[in-house]
Structures are given as structure tokens and as C-alpha cells.
Amino acid sequence: MVLYRSGLDPWADPLATLQRIQNEVNRAFGGARPRTAPEFPPLNVWRGENGVIVVAEVPGVTLEDLEITVHQNTLTVRGRREPGVTEDRVTFHRREREFGAFARTLTLPFNVDPDQVRAQAHAGILTIELPRPEAEKPKRIEIRTA
């Protein structure tokens, strides 16, 4: 049961009442919260003066099962992660690692020349370098005196 103390203004923070109700429900069910599956592969993206660097965690994925495509300002990383167990008669005690096909598509802040893109993988970490085209790099304009 949710109890509201007198003296609290429910309009001071419109979500405070909902938060209290959610906390009571979580407490009643042992603090269980719905679990959402994270997107795979997880990505970190950096943008600098010379381009964008994308780092993806792809443990357990062979290079033959990875495909990287670039079209204009869109990068797509797709592949397949195979299950570690291939036996037919197996009962999982716990299964937290996802497997199967995956794809992540990322919109880049500029068009990319696919011939300049470089990718390398080491210890389950995929690094993709997407250099900014020279035509799209900022140029310093010289100011002349009259």
C-alpha cells in the first residue's frame, strides 16, 4: 500500500508520485525490474577534426562472420555470433549471452569515402576509422586588409 504523507505537494514534482508508486511495486516484488536486452554490439563513437572512430565490442565473433558497410553517411556493422554449445541434448543452467544475427546502423555527421575507411580487430574489439573527406574539413579563411 502506498501512503502519502500530508504536507507533500504532488504538483511540485509531477513524477514524484509515480516514482513512489514504482518503488513500492519494486519492493513488493523483491526489487525486480524488467530487463531489456542491450543492443549488440555495444559502440563507442568519437568525432574529431579528422573524422570519426567507432569502437565495437564483438567478443566471440569471427572476422569471417563480420560485415562492415559504408554508404554516404551511414555505417552498418552486421554479423553473426554462434552459440558456444553445439550439442543437441543440453539443458542450460543459465543463459545470459545472446547469439545469432545482429546489425547496428549508425548515421555519421558527414559523408564518407568508403575507400578511405579502415577497420581492425584485436581481442574482440573492432575499431573502425572513418576519415572526414578533405572537401568537408573546415578551412581557415585568410583575412586581407583593404
In angstroms, the CA 52 to CA 103 distance is 19
Q: What is the mean pLDDT of residues 119-133?
A: 94
Close Cβ partners of 66 (under 8 Å, ≥ 6 residues apart) = 58, 77, 78, 79, 121, 126
- What's the rounded Cα separation, in Å, for the pair 25 and 12? 22
Q: Which domains are assigned to the chain?
A: 1-35 (no CATH), 43-85+98-136 (2.60.40.790)
Please list the alpha-helical segments (H only) found in the chain.
16-28
Residue count of the chain, please give it. 146
Asked if 25 contacts 33 with a C-beta cutoff of 8 angstroms, the reply is no
Give mean pLDDT, residues 6-20: 65
What's the CA gap between 59 and 89, in Å, rounded?
25
- Higher-confidence residue of 28 and 100: namely 100
Amino acid at 14: P
How is residue 57 written as a grid cell?
Answer: 565490442
Backbone angles phi, psi at 142, to 5 degrees: -80, 135
Residue 13 or 63, more confident: 63
Q: What is the pLDDT of residue 137?
A: 76
